[in-house]
Structure 1
Amino acid sequence: MLILDRVLCELAAVQEVEEDFVRNLPKITEESARELDRELTLEELEVALNSMQNGHSPGIDGLLVEFFKAFWSVIGQDLLEVLRASINEGRLPLSSHRAVLTLLPKKGDQTDIRNWCPVSLLCTDCKVLSRALATRLGKVMEQVIHFDQTYCVPGRSIHDNVHLIRDILDVSRLLDWPVLTPSKTTSRPAGHVCGLLLGQAALLLLGQAAPQSILYLPKEESG
């Protein structure tokens, strides 16, 4: 019973941490939510299409990006209606669920399957929709993604991360903070992680019963 009580207590603590984590997640503004939820427009699709490069292989329907650009005045409105209906019904056209799988050669022995890279070729209409929705998300990502995360956030640069790491190392030396490095990860007690979390110093104490999906702690090598 003591083991069971301990497991239940640790699971309850983990659940409390999860609820607190979700409760404190950053949220977008109501105005941004309305912007994301509004219907697609023909202008959005056209901007997305024109931002795509020519010369790429088509999907299963064989229609190139060049075809959509050349005949946009003819097919644009029809594509808009199809995509609006797909979003409202929560179901994309069958062609958007299919892809042409092809193999691209890499360096090395071409008779070795590991030297081939599989690539999925999607239909252009699906990629136009994806590009349009990604453009919308790009306008609000900075509201929910911490400023220390720079990848894929418009207006941010990886150089900021380089300066941040230098500042962390300088501060850690000045204040004599222990810094977790790859060479020290296996020497720390299981269940303890020390580091910087969202710009703040944090020590996470995780119970042994914590699910592995929450945090992966590498096991020490038996020697």
Structure 2
Amino acid sequence: MADMFKSHFVSILGASREPLLHINWSNIITPQHDLLRDMAAPFSFSEVDKVIKSMKSYKSPGPDGITMEFYKSFWGKIGPLVVKIPNDLMLQHADFQKINSAFITLIPKKEGANATNDFRPISLENSLVKIFSKLLANRLAEQMKSLIDNKQGAFT
């Protein structure tokens, strides 16, 4: 049965491969854009604090076993260390591969699911990856205002 599920989801999700599209960013981001500078600025304590407070406390944890509730409960003690981690990742002083792992689990789409098509996979990521991703997404959302015209907002 495990082989059947593996075969099914490998056929859907595929294996890692080279991207089909290579983007020439120099055509999109010109030197006068502050995008790259703003994206690479150090994360502030308040920025990380806001992200952690915005995340749901009791979502299923990833391989690290840590929920957002842990970060919220001990923020007064661990806050400065937690803020240091995404900043170290941005400066490439920390190895992202060490925290970038996830559990993939199957969730039934309907009651009584028994065929491979009756399940959908979800990834349970480490909490620090969720925090880092949300920090980057928030910054990118701010930058989108200058990259996308107001008239083209339907699919951003």
TM-score bin (small chain)? 0.7 to 0.9
CA-based RMSD of the aligned residues comes to 2.6
TM-score w.r.t. the length of structure 1 is: 0.52
Alpha-carbon shift at residue 54 of structure 1 (Å): 2.3
What is the percent sequence identity of the aligned residues?
A: 25
Query: What residue ranges of structure 2 are gaps of 5+ in the alignment?
Result: 1-22
Q: Which residue of the other structure, out of 16, 37, 50, is the alignment partner of 2:40? A: 37
Q: Structure 1 28/118 Cα, relative in aligned 2: closer, same or farther at 3 Å?
A: farther
- Residue of structure 2 in register with 1:151 after alignment: 155
The Cα of 1:145 is off from its aligned counterpart by 2.2
Assess if the C-alpha contact under 8 Å between 2:40 and 2:90 holds in 1.
Answer: no
| Counterpart in the other structure of 1:50 | 53
User: What is the CA distance between 1:149 and its match in structure 2?
Assistant: 3.4
Q: Matched residue of 1:139: which SS?
A: helix
Q: Cα offset for 1:111? A: 1.6
Q: How does 1:88-107 map to 2 (within 5 A)?
A: 88-89=91-92, 91-95=95-99, 97-107=100-110
**Higher alpha-carbon Rg:** 1
8 Å CA contact 2:56, 2:68 repeated in 1: yes
Structure 2 distance, partners of 1:44, 1:93, is: 23
Q: Assess if the C-alpha contact under 8 Å between 1:40 and 1:80 holds in 2.
A: yes
SS of equivalent residue, structure 1 residue 119: strand
2:31 & 2:126 partners in 1: Cα distance?
Answer: 31
State the Cα deviation string for residues 17-67 of structure 1 (Å, max 9, x = none). x98xx64x4658544443222111111111111111122101111111111
Counterpart position of 2:76: 73
Counterpart AA for 1:139: E
Distance 1:58 1:47 in 2: 20
Contact 1:110 1:116 in 2 (8 A): yes
Q: Secondary structure at the match of 1:56?
A: coil
Could you state the TM-score of these two structures normalised by the residue count of structure 2?
Answer: 0.72
- 1:26–1:143: 8 Å Cα contact kept in structure 2? no
Q: Write the deviation string for residues 102-157 of structure 1: whole angstroms up to 9, x where unpaired.
A: 111012652201101110000111111111111111111022124323234xxxxx
Question: Are 2:62 and 1:85 equivalent residues in the alignment?
Answer: no
Query: In structure 1, what residue type is equivalent to 2:128?
Result: D
The code of the aligned residue for 1:148 comes to Q
Indicate how the Cα distance of structure 1 residues 55 and 28 shifts in structure 2: closer, same or farther if over 3 A, else same.
farther
2:121 corresponds to 1:131: no
Aligned to 2:19: none
Contact 1:28 1:143 in 2 (8 A): no
Structure 2 counterpart SS, 1:101: strand
Q: 1:119 aligns with which of 119, 122, 145?
A: 122
Which structure has more RCO (C-alpha within 8 Å, separation ≥ 6)?
A: 2
**Which consecutive residues of structure 1, in runs of 5 or more, have no partner in the other structure?**
1-17, 153-223
